[in-house]
A and B are shown apart, each in its own frame.
Chain A
Amino acid sequence: MPRILASALLVLFLLPWGQAAFAQGRLTGTGGVSSISGAGGGGLIPWATLSSLATQDQFGAVAFVTRTDVDDFQLDVAGAAVTLRNRLELSLAKREFTIKANDSRIRQNVAGLKLKVAGDLVYGGIPQIAIGAEHHHLHDPATAQAVGAARNDGTDYYASVARAWIDGPLHRTGMININLRYSRANQYGILGHGGDDQDRTLQLEAAAAVFLSRRLAIGAEYRQKPDNLLALKEDSASDIFLAWFPNKHFSVTGAWVRLGDIAGASDQNGFYLSFQGAF
C-alpha cells in the first residue's frame, strides 16, 4: 500500500491538475454508483469507471450511504470519493457490520485508490482499463482473531476492464465490467485477512448492465471470494440491481443480494439500498 500511495502521489505531481474545476461533463450513468468499498463501481465490486462524472478536464466528488441487510447480518457503509481528471480516484468508506444474533458490531475503514490506465468506457477503440487497491483496517478485530484470521488489516489489489455499447442489445445501451482481484481477505476484510491459507489468490469479479431508459439501469454482479479459513466456509457473492439516475447529481440503487455462507450462517440473502450524491 505505501508503494501504491507513492505512485499515486507521483501521478498527482506529473499531471497538470491546476486549471480543472469541479464539474460533471460525462454522460449520465457513466460514473456508475458507489461500491461497498467506497470505490466507484457497482455495489459489491468496484468497476473500471471512476466516481462522479468528471472528465479529463474536471474534478469530481461523490458521497454515499449504503445498507445491506441479509438474514443474520447487516452492513452499513458511508463514504466518499474524489476523482481527479477522470484519471485518479481516492475513496474512503466506514463500515459497520452488525451480527443480529447478539447485536455486536465490527467497525472497519476502507481506503481505496484507483488509477485509470487507458481507454474509455464509451468512446474510442480501447475499453476503460483501471488498476486499484483497497486497504482494510479493522477497528474491532476480536471476531477476526476468534475465527483464526492471520491479520487484522490487509490490502486487496485489482485490475479492471469496462466497456459500454451505446447501441447494445435490443438497441439499448449496455456495459460489461470484469475485474481480477488479488486478495486474501476474509469476508471483505471484516473477518481480517488470511488464516489457515496465507497466500493471496486471484479472484474473478464481473458485472453486466443494460439501460432500459436513459435514467434506469438493470444489471447483475458476481464476486468470487477467497476461502482462507478452514473452520468457516466462504462463498462467492452475487446481486441483481436496479439503478436510477434522475439527474447528474443523485442516484438510488436497489439490489437483491446473495452472499452465501457468512461466518457459519448459511445462505445469507437480502436487500441492498444505496444513495449517492455527486458534484
Chain B
Amino acid sequence: MSSPLLQTLRKASALTIALALCACTGAGAQTNLYRALGGEPGISRITELFILEIANDARVIHYFEVSNVQRFREKFSEHLCVISDGPCEYTGDTMVDTHVGMHVTEGDFNAIVEDLIAAMNKAGVTLAAQNRLLERLAALRGEIIYL
C-alpha cells in the first residue's frame, strides 16, 4: 500500500529514471503532470468541459451565476497549468480571496471534484494523471470550504 516508505521509494525511482532520461537526451524528458494532462491544448479542453459540467450541475451552478465566465476560464486554466508544473504564471486571486463569503460546503466541494472528474474523463485524461492532479487540488480544500 501507499506507506510513506513506498511513496519515497516510488518518488526516488521516478527521479532516478528522470535523471537517466535527462542524461541521455539532454532535455527534460520527465513526464511532468502538465504533459500528462496534454499541455496547453489539453488544459484548455479540460477547462471548457469543466465549465459545461458546472453549467449543468444544479448543486453548484448558483456559485457561478455572478461569475465572469471568460475570467474564470482564463484563471482556472492558469491555475491548472501552474499546479501541474506547466510554464505559466497564475494571475488570479488567492483561493481564500476567491471563495471567502461563498460558504462552500464539503458536499459542494465534492460536487466540483465530480464535475472535474467528468470533464477529465470526457477529455480522455488517464486515471493516473487525474489522480495526480486531484491530489494536488485536494490540498487546497482548506482554503476553499466553509469560508
Give A contacts to B, CB under 8 Å. 23, 25-27, 55-58, 122-124, 165-174, 176, 208, 210, 213-214
C-alpha gap A263/B103 in the complex (Å)? 56
Taking a contact as CB atoms under 8 Å apart, the answer to whether B131 and A167 are in contact is: yes
- List chain A residues, Cβ under 8 A from B2: 165, 168-169, 174, 176
Q: How far is the CB of B59 from chain A (nearest CB, A)?
A: 9
A178 to B112, CA, bound (A): 30
Contact bitstring B12-55, A, C-beta under 8 A = 1, else 0: 00000000000000000000000000000000000000000000
Q: Is the CB of B138 within 8 A of A166?
A: yes
Q: With A122-B138, A123-B138 given, is the CB distance from A166 to B107 under 8 Å?
A: no
Query: Is A173 a contact partner of B131 (Cβ separation < 8 A)?
Result: yes
List B100-147 residues whose CB lies under 8 Å from chain A. Answer: 105-108, 110-111, 113-114, 117, 127-129, 131-132, 134-135, 138, 141-142
Q: What residues make up the interface of B, taking CB atoms closer than 8 Å to A?
A: 1-2, 6, 10, 105-108, 110-111, 113-114, 117, 127-129, 131-132, 134-135, 138, 141-142
B1 contacts A57, C-beta separation under 8 Å: no
Whether A171 contacts B110 by the Cβ 8 Å rule is no
Q: Are the CB atoms of B1 and A176 closer together than 8 Å?
A: yes
CA distance A208 to B3 in the complex (A): 11
Q: A124 contacts B141, CB within 8 Å?
A: yes
Closest Cβ of chain B to A227, distance in Å, is 28
A172 surroundings in chain B (CB, below 8 A): 127-128, 131
A117 vs B1: C-alpha distance when bound (angstroms): 24
Min CB gap A153→B, angstroms:
36
- Nearest chain B CB to A33's CB is how many angstroms away? 19
* A168 CA / B10 CA spacing, docked (Å): 10
Structural contact, B107 and A57, CB atoms closer than 8 A = yes
Consensus secondary structure, chain B interface: helix
Q: Complex Cα distance A55/B138, Å?
A: 16
Q: How far is the CB of A56 from chain B (nearest CB, A)?
A: 6
Chain A contacts of B138 at CB under 8 A?
Answer: 122-123, 166
Q: Are A25 and B1 also in contact (CB < 8 A) when A124-B141, A171-B127 are?
A: no
B122 CB to nearest chain A CB (Å) = 14
Closest to A208 in B: B1
* CB proximity of B115 to chain A, nearest CB, Å: 12
Q: Is the CB of B128 within 8 A of A170?
A: yes
In the complex the two chains form, is B105's CB within 8 Å of A57's CB? yes
By a CB distance below 8 angstroms, the chain B residues around A123 are: 138, 141-142
Residues of chain A within 8 A (CB-CB) of B113 are 27
By beta carbon, the residue of chain A nearest B133 is: A167
Task: State in angstroms the CA–CA spacing of A57 and B106 once bound together.
Answer: 8
B140 → chain A closest CB, angstroms? 10
Question: What residues of chain B lie closer than 8 Å to A168, measured between beta carbons?
Answer: 1-2, 131
Question: Which residues of chain B come closer than 8 Å to A122, judged between CB atoms?
Answer: 138
**Minimum C-beta distance from A73 to chain B (A):** 31
With a CB–CB cut-off of 8 A, which chain B residues contact A170?
A: 128
Q: Which residues of A contact B108 (CB under 8 A)?
A: 25
Determine the distance from Cα of A26 to Cα of B110 in the docked complex, in whole angstroms.
6
Q: Are A174 and B110 in contact (CB under 8 A)?
A: no
Other CB < 8 Å A-B pairs besides A55-B106, A176-B2, A210-B1, 18 of them?
A25-B106, A26-B110, A55-B107, A56-B106, A123-B138, A124-B141, A124-B142, A165-B2, A167-B132, A168-B1, A168-B2, A168-B131, A169-B10, A171-B128, A174-B2, A208-B1, A214-B117, A214-B127
Contact A174 B106 (CB under 8 A): no
Instruction: With both chains docked as a complex, state the minimum distance between the C-beta of B120 and any C-beta of chain A, in angstroms.
Output: 11
